[in-house]
């Protein structure tokens, strides 16, 4: 399937041979010329007849044309435009082509028109592209011990793309190469000059290695969830790369693009370099309210909205503009996703937003120096926890598993959540007792009010609000004891 798809590429629009880049440069320069002044080059690498006059006419047009508002404009307008952006860009491109023509003539380069030679160049280009993907498939098999799946999708049906993207996002350990069938003819053959290829790559069970500056051994290794990478590239760009021809035309479809989607272990945890994807129906710039009530395993990727904000730092190759070496790319991406250097890394999200509570619960070998540098802010931690987890019982469970006793004992939010849980339990107990007694046969004599009987004290603790400093440990114990003594 891989070679079959790549072989459908139309090479007619790509010049092949020593003249290749020159023809593209001339085509790009002709954007400044009107239809009657288009220039060209000959097969002997010289300017075609009449090119000088056409260049002169275009130069005069850029300088100001032939229409002037007054006599002084005849002199002033060309002087103003002589150093203008368009004039300087046109001059620079024109002289670059002229220099290259001189070099081709000096080197004795020959204009390639032999069909057999051109076919051989095309076949070599296809084989080089196939090898790039074959190397990636072998890499996935060796590192992740799984196979890469190949599928075709139709560009105007995003559900095809989403099916594979969300399977990787929700289940993990998925690797896909998708061939985008941009147009399909009546014979169900894919023909297009904008064929695209997507690579969907899973990074599962990542651990963030946190270093002090340039140290080589990490202070801590914190679990940081999963990430799905979606790498989009055009087949046209790939062919140009292997032919070593630069694509001159700025085009969205030609530019390689990579986006990363983060899935945390617990709602609200944030990767230092990747924001959550924004909710298209939300007015918030920060999309942290999107997933407040959602089950984390139901989170999906929405390709119809902007990609999540991502910070690559100094790893510029992750923008997708490299040599399209996929093995190298994903090795660098893994390093980027799992490396944080205190003091030199400037992230989107603070490193302590990667976890809740005490990080030593997830890394028993954490260096104590980490706490000296970062510390633990229990108030901020519980605030983030509450933003994403509205259920108090779920928050309590997270606190019990992700935090230590020492931190919980001084955590304002944890104590308040415990008070809410106890208050809710006491209220439910009263409701259950009422429903159990309202249908019982009660003797009529019990309705009589005995004014002589004395009221009894059930020792129920009446103050249900924690004190201002939330030092409520004794209060909680007294309420629990009352609940145990009054259960029937």
pLDDT of residue 320: 57
Residue 175 sits in the same domain as residue 274: yes
Compute φ and ψ for 446, nearest 5 degrees. -75, -15
Q: Is the pLDDT of residue 16 over 60?
A: yes
Top pLDDT among 215 and 278 is at 215
Whether the pLDDT of residue 442 is over 50: the answer is no
The pLDDT tens digits of the residues spanning 107-155 come to 777 677 777 877 888 888 889 889 999 999 999 999 999 999 998 887 6
Q: Does the residue 436 lie in any domain?
A: no
On whether residue 159 sits in a domain, the answer given is yes
pLDDT value for 145: 92
Q: Are residues 51 and 132 in the same domain?
A: no
Tokens 């209220």 locate to 427
pLDDT at 469: 41
End-to-end CA distance of the chain: 71
Residue entry with tokens 């994807």: 277
Domain ranges, residue 83: 18-111
CB 377 within 8 A of CB 369: no
Under a CB-based contact definition with an 8 Å cutoff, are residues 148 and 177 in contact? yes
pLDDT exceeds 60 at position 220: yes
The answer to whether residues 123 and 96 belong to one domain is no
Residue 450 within a domain = no
Contacts 24+ apart (CB under 8 A), 31-39: 32/58, 32/62, 32/86, 32/90, 33/58, 34/58, 34/61
Statement to judge: residues 78 and 22 lie in one domain: yes
Q: How would you label 318-332 residue by residue, b for 16+ Cβ within 10 Å and e otherwise? A: bebeeebebbebbeb
Mean pLDDT of 308-337: 79
305 found inside a domain? yes
Which has the minimum average pLDDT: 111-125, 244-258, 318-332, 412-426? Answer: 244-258
What pLDDT does residue 471 have?
47
Asked, for residue 89, whether it belongs to a domain, the answer is yes
426-434: average pLDDT = 55
Residue 423 confidence (pLDDT) above 70: yes
Please tell me the total count of domains within the chain. 2
Same domain, 92 and 147: no
Domain boundary among 299, 334, 361: 361
Measured CA to CA, the distance from residue 188 to residue 109 in angstroms comes to 42
Kindly state whether residue 287 falls inside one of the protein's structural domains: yes
Structural domain includes residue 78: yes
The verdict on 77 and 219 lying in the same domain is no
Decide which of 92, 111, 130 is a domain's last residue. 111
Q: Is the pLDDT of residue 58 over 80?
A: yes
Which among 201, 196, 175, 184 is positioned nearest to 238, based on CA atoms? Answer: 196
Which range among 131-135, 158-162, 306-310, 441-445 shows the weakest confidence by mean pLDDT? 441-445
- At 177 the three-state DSSP class reads strand
Confidence check: pLDDT of 96 > 50: yes
Task: Judge whether residue 366 has pLDDT over 80.
Answer: yes
């Amino acid at each position: 399937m891989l070679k079959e798809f790549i072989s459908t590429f139309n090479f007619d629009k790509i010049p092949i041979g020593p003249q290749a880049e020159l023809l593209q440069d001339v085509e790009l320069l002709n954007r400044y010329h009107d239809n009657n002044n288009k220039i060209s080059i000959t097969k002997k690498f010289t300017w075609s007849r009449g090119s000088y006059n056409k260049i002169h006419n275009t130069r005069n047009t850029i300088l100001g044309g032939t229409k002037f508002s007054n006599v002084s404009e005849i002199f002033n307008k060309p002087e103003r435009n002589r150093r203008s952006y368009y004039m300087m860009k046109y001059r620079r491109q024109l002289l670059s082509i002229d220099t290259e023509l001189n070099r081709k003539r000096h080197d004795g380069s020959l204009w390639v028109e032999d069909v057999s030679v051109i076919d051989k160049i095309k076949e070599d280009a296809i084989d080089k592209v196939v090898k790039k993907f074959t190397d990636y498939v072998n890499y996935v098999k060796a590192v992740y011990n799984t196979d890469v799946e190949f599928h075709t999708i139709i560009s105007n049906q995003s559900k095809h793309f989403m099916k594979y993207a969300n399977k990787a996002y929700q289940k993990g350990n998925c690797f896909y190469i998708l061939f985008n069938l941009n147009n399909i003819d009546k014979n169900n053959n894919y023909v297009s000059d904008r064929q695209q290829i997507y690579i969907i790559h899973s990074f599962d069970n990542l651990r963030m290695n946190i270093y002090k500056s340039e140290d080589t051994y990490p202070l801590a290794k914190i679990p940081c969830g999963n990430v799905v990478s979606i790498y989009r590239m055009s087949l046209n760009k790939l062919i140009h790369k292997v032919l070593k021809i630069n694509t001159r035309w700025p085009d969205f479809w030609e530019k390689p693009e990579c986006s990363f989607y983060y899935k945390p272990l617990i709602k609200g945890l944030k990767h230092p370099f990747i924001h959550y994807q924004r909710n298209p129906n939300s007015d918030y710039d920060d999309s942290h309210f999107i997933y407040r009530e959602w089950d984390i395993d139901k989170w999906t990727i929405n390709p119809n909205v902007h990609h999540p904000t991502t910070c690559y730092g100094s790893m510029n190759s992750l923008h997708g503009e490299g040599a399209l070496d996929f093995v190298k790319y994903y090795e660098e991406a893994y390093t980027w996703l799992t490396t944080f250097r205190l003091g030199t890394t400037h992230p989107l999200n603070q490193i302590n937003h990667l976890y809740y509570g005490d990080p030593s619960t997830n890394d028993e070998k954490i260096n104590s120096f980490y706490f000296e540098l970062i510390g633990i802010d229990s108030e901020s931690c519980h605030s983030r926890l509450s933003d994403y987890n509205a259920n108090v019982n779920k928050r309590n469970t997270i606190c019990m598993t992700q935090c230590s006793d020492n931190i919980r004992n001084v955590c304002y939010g944890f104590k308040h959540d415990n008070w809410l849980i106890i208050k809710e339990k006491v209220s439910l107990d009263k409701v259950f007792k009422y429903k159990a007694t309202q249908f019982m046969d009660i003797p009529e004599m019990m309705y009589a009010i005995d004014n002589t009987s004395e009221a009894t004290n059930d020792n129920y603790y009446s103050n249900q609000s924690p004190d201002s400093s939330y030092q409520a440990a004794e209060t909680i114990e007294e309420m629990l004891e009352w609940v145990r003594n009054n259960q029937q």
